[in-house]
Amino acid sequence: MSSIRELLILLISSSLVSNVVLSQFLGLCPFLGVSKKIKTAAGMGTAVIFVITIASAVAGLIYKFILQRFGLEYLQTIVFILVIAALVQFVEMFMKKAIPSLYRALGVYLPLITTNCAVLGVAITNVQKEYDVVTGIVNGFGTAVGFTVAIVILAGIRERIEYNDIPNAWKGMPIVLVTAGLMAIAFCGFSGLL
């Protein structure tokens, strides 16, 4: 079991220093696709925090108590992707029934997350770095917070870019990617933090 101090450091490093989108390139599709408006970007970010935190907890428990116990570690990729897909469906149904207000706010984004590679990426990273369940959850939460920070900032910049005069060939995706590149340079500055 790691100390609180170690967990805090992990939280900062997973959210800012090795940002999931800007330095690991996971979850690029929603990062580029759902970042036109701050409001929707924030919604997507919240849904990702929700799903990744739960998914890393479930994947961690399954790995420890089922796969490791029976020596089935090599099945991790297959098991994790199926568990995540089922989990997202289940969370959606549960939310619809039990917490309708939360479902109205996040429901739209849940199906989009199933194929988001950040979720699977976190689950596999947790296993590869041999984190225990609690550390894994903290890592998942930090990663998702990093995703949210990045997508909200990008959405804010994109709202401004909308009115700029851009050369024809660079309109749309290219200018968004340049923006993401500049953000990545800015996030490199965090590497001196720890």
Of 8 and 29, the one with the shorter C-beta distance to other proteins is 29
Shortest Å, Cβ 90 to other proteins: 14
Q: Which of 13, 15, 53, 125 binds other proteins (CB under 8 A)?
A: 125
Rounded to whole angstroms, the Cα distance separating 181 from 62 reads 37
Counted residue by residue, the chain has a size of: 194
164 lies in the binding site for other proteins (CB under 8 A): no
28 lies in the binding site for other proteins (CB under 8 A): yes
Rounded to whole angstroms, the Cα distance separating 186 from 194 reads 16
Shortest Å, Cβ 17 to other proteins: 12
78 lies in the binding site for other proteins (CB under 8 A): yes
Rounded to whole angstroms, the Cα distance separating 136 from 80 reads 14
174 lies in the binding site for other proteins (CB under 8 A): yes
Backbone angles phi, psi at 188, to 5 degrees: -60, -30
Q: Which stretch binds other proteins (CB under 8 A): 63-71, 107-115, 133-141, 152-160?
A: 107-115
Q: Do residues 42 and 148 make contact, with C-beta atoms less than 8 angstroms apart?
A: yes
The crossing angle, in degrees rounded to 10, of helices 117-128 and 76-98 is 130
178 lies in the binding site for other proteins (CB under 8 A): yes
33 lies in the binding site for other proteins (CB under 8 A): yes
Residues with Cβ within 8 Å of 62's Cβ and at least 6 positions away in sequence, in order, are 79, 80, 83
Of 25 and 159, the one with the shorter C-beta distance to other proteins is 25
Rounded to whole angstroms, the Cα distance separating 156 from 154 reads 5
Tokens of 86: 């089922």
Q: What single-letter DSSP state applies at residue 36? A: S
Q: Which stretch binds other proteins (CB under 8 A): 1-9, 51-59, 108-116, 131-139?
A: 108-116
Contacting residues toward other proteins, per CB under 8 A: 22-30, 32-34, 40, 74-78, 81-82, 85, 108-109, 111-112, 114-117, 120-121, 124-125, 128, 168-175, 177-178, 180-182, 184-185, 187-188
